[in-house]
Structure 1
Amino acid sequence: MRALVFTAPGRAEVQDVLEPQAGPGHVIVQVERVGVCGTDVELFTGAMSYLHTGAASYPLRPGHEWAGTVVAAGAGVDDDWVGRRVTGDTMIGCGDCVRCRSGRHHVCARRHELGCRDGLPGALTERLEFPAAYLHVLPDTVDATLGALVEPGGNALRAVRAAAAGPGERLLILGTGTIGLLAAMFGRAQGAEVHLLGLRAEPLAQGQVWTRETLPELAWDGVIDATNAAVMPGLAVELVEPGRTVVYIGLSGAPSVIDTRDVVFKDVTTVGILGASAGLAGAITSYGKGEADPRPLVAATVSLEQIVGVLAGKRPDGAGPGPKFHVDPRL
C-alpha cells in the first residue's frame, strides 16, 4: 500500500510499504480523510521538538487527524467494530501507570502519539493499524471531512471549556489559525461573546477579529492563546480579567516569558492543554448536532502525492481561504 514518509528534514515521498495486519487488540482502518496540521509541518521541516529530544526520528510516517472505516479486527476485538466509521485518539498510553489508570493517559510518560512519536505509524496512508480501545465511533451526521476535524476540534473544545467564559461573557482568542477558529465556533456554541486577535481580517472567523493596534480595552473573561508567538503568553495574562483564566494551547518556537507577579497579583488561573483526548467525544457530539461546522476551514482535499507540495508551502490552484488541508489517500 502507499504511505507518506518523511525521510529527512524537508524531504517527503510516497512509498510502497507493507500492508498492516491487525494484531491483538487492534483493528485495520481504511483511511478516508486525514488532516495536516502545524505539527506535521514541523515534523517535515525538522523543527519539531520530538526530533531533538529523541522521541521521534526519521524515517517517520505522519498523520494524526483522521477518519475511516474499520475493515478488520484482531484477536480480542469485537467483530462488531468491522464496518463502523471511526476516528481515534492520538495519545496512546501504556495502560498500566498511575496516570493512565487515573484518566490521564495523554500525559503517560510511555505514551505513543500516532504519527508524531516513534512507535505508531501515522494515518497518511491507505490503511492504518490502530488500537481498538482508543477508537471513537462517528455518527452518520459526521462525514469524513468532519471526522478528520475531530482531533483539532477536541483540542479547541478543551481550551474553550478550560477558559470558562459562559453565556454573555467575553472570550478572547489569540490567533486565527485552525485551533483559534475552531475555539471561536465552540465558544459561540456555549453562548460566549467571541473576539479574536489576529494579524489581519479573517473571513472565516465566527466572532469579531481585531489586530493588536485595534484591540479595544474591554473586560476579557477568558483568554485562549492559540498562537506560536513567544510574546503572546505574557500578553494573555496582561489582558485577562483578574480572577479569570488564561488557556495556553499554542506553542512558540522560542521560550516565552510570563511574569508570575502579574499572575499572582491578578489571581489568574493558567491552564495548559496537551492533546484532544478529553474533548474528542464532545467534538463529535457538537459536529453531529450541527452546533459547530468547521468544514469551511478546509481549503482543499488532495492526494498523498499532492500533499508533499503543500508541506513545502505550495498552495494548490483553486484552494479556498481556509487554513486546513485534507488528504484522501484513495485519490
Structure 2
Amino acid sequence: MAAMRAFVLTGPREVEVQEVAAPVAAPGSVVIDVARVGVCGTDVEFYTGEMQYLHEGHARFPMRLGHEWMGTVAAVGDGVDPAWIGRRVTGDTMLGCGACRRCLRGDQHVCEFRTEVGIRGGFPGALAEQLAMPVTALHALPDSVDDTLGALVEPGGNALRAARAAQLSRGDRALVLGPGTIGLLVGMIARSFGAEVHLMGRSPRSVEFARTLGFDGVWTEADLPELPWDAVIDASNAPNLPATALDLVEPARRVVYVGLAGSPSRIDTRTLALKDVTAVGILSASPGLAGTIELYASGAVDPRPLVAATVGLDGVGAILAGERPEGAGRGPKLHVDPRG
C-alpha cells in the first residue's frame, strides 16, 4: 500500500508528521496532489483543544487538519471524467449528505449530517501530500489564479459572502472590525465594490500592516472617528464587538457577523429592533467559492500580500503554537507546502 506524509494532531498541543496510507480514488472521488494549504484560526483552536466541535463530539483526536487548500488532480475514481486529471483545483470544505431538505435546497453547508474537510466528522484534511475529495466539491482554478491565490479561495469565500451580505452600494461607508485574514479580505472585497472601507483593530502589528494596504482608514477603538457607518462587519474573535457593531451601524442598515469568539457574545435585541437594523450571520465559504475565484482571476482583488511565509509540514506545529517563521513578512496568513 502506498504511503505519504501527513500532519497529524494527536491531542491538544501534541503533533506529529506521520507516514500514513495514501488515499485511493473511490467512485465519484478524486485524489489531489496538494500544493498549498492555509493555516486557519480554526486549526489553532483544535491545537489548543478549545474548538467547540471537540466538546460536541463532531471531532476527535487524532485528526488531520487543513481546509484551505489547492492542488492538482492526480487520479480519478469510477464515474469521474478523466479530463479532471492534471487540473488545478480547490474545493468546498462543507460536504453535505446530499439527501436532506437543506442539501436539496442548496444549503449543504448547514446540513445536519455534513462532514467538513479537516474539521468535522473525521474527514482527513489537506495538511498532507495528497487529499481525496468528491468530484462534486471541486472548483477548477484558471491559470491566472496561482497557488497562493488558490489556497486563499476558501477564506475569500467567507469574506465575499460577508461583503455581499452588507449590501454595499458604491460610495457607502463600511467599517470592518478585526484586521485579521478574514477582515482584510472583507475590506478588499468591499473596496472592489466601490465602498469606502475602514478597519478597526487592537493589535499594533495587525493595525500597522492593515495601514499598508491602502484602506480609507485604519483605527483603534480609542481613535475611531464618529462617522455614519452604512455597514459594520464583525470579523473579530472579541466577545464584546458584536454589540459594538450594532451600536455603531446606521439605523436601517446592516451588521454582518462572520467572526466567532471563544465565549458567548451578546447583543441587545431592543437596539436591533429600535434601530431597524438587519443582522446577518455567515457560516462557510461554500456559496462564495466560485465568485471568489472570479474576483481573483480578474485581478479585482489580490490578497497575496496577506501571506507572510510558506513552510513545510514539519513547520506546522510551531505555527499552531504561535511562532512565526524566521524571515516571515507582516501579513496574518501562513501557508504550507506539503511537498517541501
Deviation of 1:119 after TM superposition, in Å, equals 3.0
- What is residue 339 of structure 2 aligned with on the other side? 330
**CA distance in 2: counterparts of 1:158 and 1:202, whole angstroms:** 26
What's the RMSD between the two structures over aligned residues?
A: 0.7
**Closer, same or farther in 2 for the Cα pair 1:206/1:249, shift >3 Å?**
farther
Deviation at 1:291, TM superposition (A): 0.6
Question: 8 Å contact 2:114–2:121 — kept in the other structure?
Answer: no
- The correspondence of residues 161-172 of structure 1 with structure 2, limited to 5 A, is 161-172=164-175
- The separation in 1 between residues aligned to 2:83 and 2:71, in whole angstroms, is 15
* 1:48 alignment counterpart: 51
Residue 148 of structure 2: SS of its match in structure 1? helix
8 Å CA contact retained: 1:185, 1:206: no
Q: Following the alignment from structure 1 to structure 2, what is the Cα–Cα distance between the partners of residues 109 and 314?
A: 35
| 8 A contact 1:233–1:258 mirrored in 2 | yes
Q: Aligned residue for 2:284?
A: 275
Matching residue of 1:142: 145
Q: Name 1:239's counterpart in structure 2.
A: 248
Distance in 1 (CA, whole Å) between partners of 2:176 and 2:106 is: 28
Of 313, 317, 322 in structure 1, the residue corresponding to residue 326 of structure 2 is 317
The answer to whether the 8 Å contact 2:89/2:141 transfers is yes
Q: More displaced, 45-54 or 309-318?
A: 309-318
1:203 matched to which residue of 2?
209
Distance of 1:326 and 1:29 partners within structure 2: 17
Classify the secondary structure of the residue corresponding to 1:17.
strand
Shift of 1:245: 0.7
Matched, 1:108 2:116: no
Residue 84 of structure 2 is aligned to residue 73 of structure 1: no
Cross-structure match for 1:25: 28
SS at match of 2:32: strand
Q: Provide the C-alpha distance between the structure 1 equivalents of 2:252 and 2:83, rounded to a whole number of angstroms.
A: 49
Query: Does the aligned pair in 1 maintain the 2:158–2:284 contact within 8 Å?
Result: yes
Q: CA shift at 1:95, angstroms?
A: 0.4
- For 2:151 and 2:44, locate their aligned partners in 1 and report how far apart those are by CA, in whole Å: 17
Counterparts of 1:287 and 1:122, CA distance in 2: 24
* SS of residue in 1 equivalent to 2:244: helix
Deviation at 1:118, TM superposition (A): 2.2
Using the TM superposition, give the Cα deviation of residue 307 of structure 1 relative to its aligned residue in structure 2, in angstroms.
1.4
1:186-230 CA distance string (max 9 Å, x none): 011000000001113332444110111111111100110000111
Which whole-Å CA distance do the structure 2 matches of 1:30 and 1:12 have between them? Answer: 22
Check whether the contact 1:176–1:202 (CA below 8 A) recurs between aligned residues. Answer: no
SS, match of residue 202 in structure 1: helix
The separation in 1 between residues aligned to 2:192 and 2:237, in whole angstroms, is 25
Query: Which residue does 2:266 correspond to in 1?
Result: 257
The amino acid of 2:321's aligned partner reads A
Is the 8 Å Cα contact of residues 65 and 118 (structure 2) preserved in structure 1?
yes
The TM-score normalised by the length of structure 2 is 0.96
Worse-matched range after superposition: 192-201 or 82-91 = 192-201
Counterpart of 2:157 in structure 1 is: 154
2: CA distance between counterparts of 1:17 and 1:156? 34
Gaps of 5+ in 1: none
CA distance in 2: counterparts of 1:186 and 1:261, whole angstroms: 31
Identical counterparts, % of pairs: 62
Q: Return the offset for 1:5.
A: 0.4
Tell me the CA shift for residue 314 of structure 1: 1.5
**TM-score computed with the length of structure 1 as normaliser:** 0.99
**Map of 1:7 onto structure 2:** 10
Maintained 8 Å contact 2:6/2:17:
yes
Gaps of 5+ in 2: none
Q: Does the alignment pair 1:63 with 2:72?
A: no
Partner deviation per Cα, 1:121-151 (whole Å, 9 max, x = no partner): 0000000000000100000000110000000
Aligned partner letter, 1:17? V
Conserved in 1, the CA contact under 8 Å of 2:60 and 2:122? Answer: no
**Structure 2 CA distance, aligned partners of 1:45 and 1:119?**
18
Matched, 1:132 2:135: yes
